[in-house]
Amino acid sequence: MEYYQSEIIFNQEIAPDIFLMEVTRNKEEIEPGQFFMLKTWRDELTLMRPISVYNVLPKQVQFMYRIAGKGTALLSNTKPGDAIQLLGPLGTGFPYKKVHGEIALLGGGIGIPPLFETAKKLKALNNNVTVYLGFKKELFAIDDFAGVADHLFIASEEGEEGYRGFITDLLKPEKFDAVFTCGPEIMMEKVWRMCKEKQVPVWLSMERRMACGIGACLGCNCDTIHGTVRACKDGPVFSGDVLVF
Amino acid sequence: MKNKLETIINGVKFKNPIIAASGCYGFGREYNELYDISLLGGISSKGLTLEPRQGNKGIRIWETASGMMNSVGLQNPGVHRFIEEELPWMRKHDTVIIANLGGSLIEDYIEGINLLNKTEVDMIELNISCPNVKTGGMALGIKADIAFEAVKLCKQASEKPLMVKLSPNAENIIEMAQACEAAGADSLSLVNTFNAMAVDVRNKKAVFNNTYAGLSGAAIKPIALRMVHQVCKNVKIPVVGLGGIYTLEDILSFIMVGATAVQVGTANFNEPNILPTLIQQLEQYCEEEKLNHISDIQGII
């Protein structure tokens, strides 16, 4: 983890309110499922914003985010060449080295981005990767995932493309050696229950409001069988064996 | 140059008057990955209770205009594990260690103090002002007569210098400060967070499970500053000022109204390396203003 100033290379809207931002990075290794605290402000807002890593490049890192409030709205207004402060990489990501064989990645909405770097890493280790992406309406990041996944399933609740309904309708956990998921908590809880029922190992990436992002403030509590833990440091990715819903 | 910032409170020597505030800094482990925490004047530990606590359920953090609210609820490993696991690590660093102690029952405070007496902590900061636990802490921080009795008993038990952390929610901050001083407090720190509220309009309910939560950050600084000024004018014991300190100017303001030292909390979230920056800026200020010592400007207003 390091705190440093970086430069925005591009920041573009790829779907309504969804942005892809590329920034320069230092040499520190970034694991899939990790995140950074970001800010482009000093006084306008009190807190930095936790944004997960979408894609790691040799000298850059890409973030994909949705405008959800003031922080992400400020991020969306930045332009190439603007300065951005990075704190990270932070947290415990997906255990891509621990799993082997047929792996399913299931993402919903703005929970999709951390699965892209994860898919890349799993493919590099010769796993078979099946990706399930669920959207409300407009699709995004599809081409990137199509380029790396062995199989790609798409669902949209209101849209025209792919299966019309919830992405969890398409998942058959028993076909896989492990499932990684990130998205709305209600969706992840469903995946968790489906995997438990079929005794398939599952890992979930939890989203929380964060203040420090590094494990000091205890603001991002998650309930586990071991008690209250920190999403920012102990997570955001947790094994389904320890999480409590 | 360093000795221009050296500050002594209750016989404890701080290398500078900048202390990491309780609750924002854990036990220093995480920030030590960003910079050497030995730079700091001191660290006030995460609020400890006699027994471990899991803290509050639900949302704990909520950003507000120029500030934030928290409702962590004193999640902490308990005094025993603090002494066994955290304190030995902290003690390896050359900075003052203040054990922040909270609780619900006066018996628990006393037992906590008895345990801390036997350790290498430099001071105890008595938290009589946490808004995020349902019983105890808060009532203690509001009524001066209740605080007097509690601080008196804690002072009798304590073999360490006792700093009492005041709540801005006290009925009368001057009477509260004077009551704590009369009860034997060696020093005071103020202010803790302001009792506040947020509503989740979309879901038509309070944001926090406990309804109310503690407001901190730049938004509270002018009120905190006024309270520190009032208290400094009315007690003789040292006062440590805190509440929304982000900048060198903020630190100077608190010292000019009488604070001996300051604590910085929420600003760490805004700017993770803010403490080393502020220390360096304060050193530079002393040079530029040709001060013999930072205390030259203490209480000049």
Does B172 map to a domain?
yes
Task: Write the burial class of residue B39 (CB in 10 Å: 0-12 exposed, 13-18 middle, 19+ buried).
Answer: middle
Does A241 map to a domain?
no
Does A224 map to a domain?
no
Structure tokens at A26: 């230092």
ipTM of the complex: 0.94
Identify the closest residue of chain B to A47 by CA–CA distance.
B270
Question: Is the model's pLDDT at B132 over the cut of 80?
Answer: no
Which residues, including other chains, have CB under 8 Å from residue B145's CB and lie 6 or more apart? B179
Interface test with A, best of B69, B201, B269 (most A CBs within 10 A): B269
Give the model confidence (pLDDT) of B12-70 as tens digits: 999 999 999 999 999 999 999 999 999 999 999 999 999 999 999 999 999 999 999 99
A to B CB pairs, distance under 8 Å:
96
Averaged pLDDT of chain B: 95
Identify the closest residue of chain A to B56 by CA–CA distance.
A221
Does A229 map to a domain?
no
pLDDT of residue B109: 93
Q: What is the total count of domains within chain B?
A: 1
Does A150 map to a domain?
yes
Phi, psi torsion values for B139, nearest 5 degrees: -60, -40
Does A211 map to a domain?
no
Q: How far apart, in whole angstroms, are the C-alpha atoms of residue A209 and residue B164?
A: 31
User: A84 and A113 share a domain?
Assistant: no
Rounded to 5, what percent of chain A is helix, strand, coil? 20, 40, 45
Task: Classify B28 in phi/psi space as left (phi over 0), alpha (psi -120 to 50) or beta.
Answer: left
User: A129 and A188 share a domain?
Assistant: yes
At B2, is the secondary structure helix, strand, or coil?
Answer: helix
Domain hosting residue A51, numbered range = 2-90
Q: How far is CA B76 from the centre of its chain?
A: 16
Catalytic residue list contains B154:
no
Give the model confidence (pLDDT) of A87-143 as tens digits: 999 999 999 999 999 999 999 999 999 999 999 999 999 999 999 999 999 999 999
Distance in Å, alpha carbon of B91 to nearest chain A alpha carbon: 18
Does A222 map to a domain?
no
Question: Is the model's pLDDT at B137 over the cut of 80?
Answer: no
To 10 degrees, the CA torsion angle through B69, B30, B3, B298? 0
Does A220 map to a domain?
no
Q: How confident is the model at residue B1 (pLDDT cuts 50, 70, 90)?
A: very low
Q: Which of B130, B154, B180, B286 is the catalytic position?
A: B130
Average pLDDT over residues B197-218: 97
Phi, psi torsion values for B265, nearest 5 degrees: -120, -85
Q: Residue B35's domain is classified under what CATH number?
A: 3.20.20.70
Q: How far apart, in whole angstroms, are the C-alpha atoms of residue B10 and residue B162?
A: 8
Longest dimension (CA), chain B: 57
Helix (H) or strand (E) holding A85: strand A83-90
Averaged pLDDT of chain A: 97
Give the model confidence (pLDDT) of A150-193 as tens digits: 999 999 999 888 999 999 999 999 999 999 999 999 999 999 99
Structure tokens at B248: 């060198």
**Does residue B299 sit at the A interface (CB-CB below 8 Å)?**
no
User: A62 and A116 share a domain?
Assistant: no
Q: Residue A168's domain is classified under what CATH number?
A: 3.40.50.80
Give the model confidence (pLDDT) of B239-292 as tens digits: 999 999 999 999 999 999 999 999 999 999 999 999 999 999 999 999 999 999
pLDDT > 90: what percent of chain B?
A: 91
Do A209 and B62 touch, CB atoms closer than 8 A? yes
Domain hosting residue B175, numbered range = 2-55+73-194+216-297
Distance in Å, alpha carbon of B29 to nearest chain A alpha carbon: 8
User: A154 and A176 share a domain?
Assistant: yes
At A183, is the secondary structure helix, strand, or coil?
Answer: coil
Q: How confident is the model at residue B131 (pLDDT cuts 50, 70, 90)?
A: low
Q: Residue A77's domain is classified under what CATH number?
A: 2.40.30.10
